[in-house]
A and B are shown apart, each in its own frame.
Chain A
Amino acid sequence: MNHDQTDHHQTDDRSTKVPCAAQPSAWDLDAGQLGQWLQAIRTCLDCPVLQQCSRLRDQLYPQGNPNRPTTGNPRSVIWAAVPYSEVGAPMTPTSLRRYARRTGRAGAPERDRRTIGLR
């Protein structure tokens, strides 16, 4: 696991049970597979503490840049629905798929999932 993946699952509201706390590896781009990552992004986008999570990232990464890779960004992690590559490049879900292919974590193609019913 990347050392940059600090415990971002803790939010300002400590009493709130955030979804990523139950299975943090799905938010870790050094672990898991593309399918888990895409599901993690969806979970974030429906998360009631998404805004607080973004603010926490801004506090912990004040030099972060949403437009280009930088050491000021988180690395190898999905944080507040934004995936960051190993060099801190913010990615879209589409570029996350390319990243998964490049790193050998793309999992089974969709047509195979249809056949074997993994949904």
Chain B
Amino acid sequence: MPLSVTAARSVCAEPFELACRYGRPVLHVDRTFHPVGQWAHQGFPAITAAAPESITRGLYFALTELTAAADALDDQVVADLMAEVGVLGELLVRTQLDAELASIALELWGQLQHAAGAGDHQLVAVHAVTMRRLLPRPERRDRQDTPAYLSVGARLRLGDGPLPEVVDDDVPIPADPAAGFLIALAAVLLAGRAHVVEAGGSIRCPIGAAPARVGWLGAAPLGPKIGMLSMAEQVLVVDPYRCVQLVRAVSPETPDVSVLGTVLVQRWLMDSTLLVDELTVRREAAVSAIAAGYGEQGPAWVWSLPLSHWAPEQFRRSGPRPRLQAVPNIVD
């Protein structure tokens, strides 16, 4: 339907069939003042200096890394950071109470969402850089901020590809704390020093996993429970404190939970949680146990580690591979 929007009035012509002069619905916006255009014409000045620093800094780095993820065509990280930008952007607008800023931020956010929805990574990157101009450039990146984006291949600094498959508990532990922890964790489970259970609260060996690789001897669990494993969702969820305590028996150089958690988040090896209240933003280097499906018996915060960090067969049930069977032709 032809719809005319001016500064003074909005007109919706009716009835639809008679008014549709263009053959299809048309939205015609005729504005004498366009806040985004004006802002761009002024050289994209930062106009949010009065907002709380934790919000503007958080949004600045989320947009920076959104650009990097879009450049790398990393859809999963783009989706995560879009959610983060949306939350922080809403908080920014709400704390500023500035009509012009709200208008500009809303339009830029709309364009950014449209580009992300269309899977147009080039436009996502441009819109993210444009939106970032609203914000003052922070002096430094805080550990609470979105870490610098790393491509999948750069997250484990081993130099020669992915983690090797751990086949015995006498495995050499890499000096890198993140890679060392992941190798040592696999060794702990392999040695039966601890076990993980199937996701969903049941006390049984994870479905599709090799019992000996996840701390089980047949149907009997070995050592304390440190978390759960889901082969279907390809994730290992562990209690950080129990886990690090046991891993240190294999790898004494393992940092403490807070340091190691930060390292894993900074390397994009693990999810973190953004905690947002009315005025402040902070990041927890862990995820909520309930959100992760760890159940009511687990700790409040857990580490959620994708199985893709390990060798493909690290936890998988071993056994004879299925053989191809000859099937006779079926003739009617």
Contact of A66 among B34, B45, B73, B119 (CB under 8 A): B34
**0/1 interface trace, chain B 119-147, chain A, CB 8 Å (1 if under):** 11111011101101100000000000000
**A53, B33: Cα distance in complex, Å:** 22
Tell me the total A-B contact number using a CB cutoff of 8 A: 70
Known A38-B123, A38-B126, A42-B125; judge A94-B41 contact (CB<8 A). no
Question: Is B96's beta carbon under 8 Å from chain A?
Answer: no
**A82, B43: Cα distance in complex, Å:** 9
Which residues of B sit under 8 angstroms from A45, Cβ to Cβ?
44, 129-130, 132-133
Which residues of B sit under 8 angstroms from A67, Cβ to Cβ?
31-34, 37-38
Which residues of A sit under 8 angstroms from B45, Cβ to Cβ?
51
> A51 near B125 (CB under 8 angstroms)?
no
Query: Which residue of chain A is the closest to B39 with respect to CB atoms?
Result: A66
Q: Tally chain A residues at the interface, Cβ within 8 Å.
A: 26
What 15 additional pairs, Cβ within 8 angstroms, besides A64-B41, A66-B41?
A: A38-B126, A41-B130, A42-B126, A45-B44, A54-B41, A67-B32, A67-B37, A67-B38, A82-B40, A82-B41, A93-B123, A94-B111, A94-B115, A114-B73, A119-B73
* Interface residue ranges, B against A (CB under 8 Å): 31-34, 36-38, 40-45, 67, 71, 73, 111, 114-115, 119-123, 125-127, 129-130, 132-133
* Interface residue ranges, A against B (CB under 8 Å): 34-35, 38, 41-42, 45-46, 50-51, 53-55, 64, 66-67, 80-82, 90, 92-94, 97, 110, 114, 119
Q: Can you sample 24 A-B contacts with CB below 8 Å? A: A35-B122, A38-B125, A38-B126, A41-B126, A42-B125, A42-B126, A45-B44, A45-B130, A45-B132, A45-B133, A50-B43, A50-B44, A51-B45, A54-B43, A55-B43, A66-B34, A66-B40, A67-B34, A81-B44, A82-B41, A93-B123, A93-B130, A110-B119, A119-B73
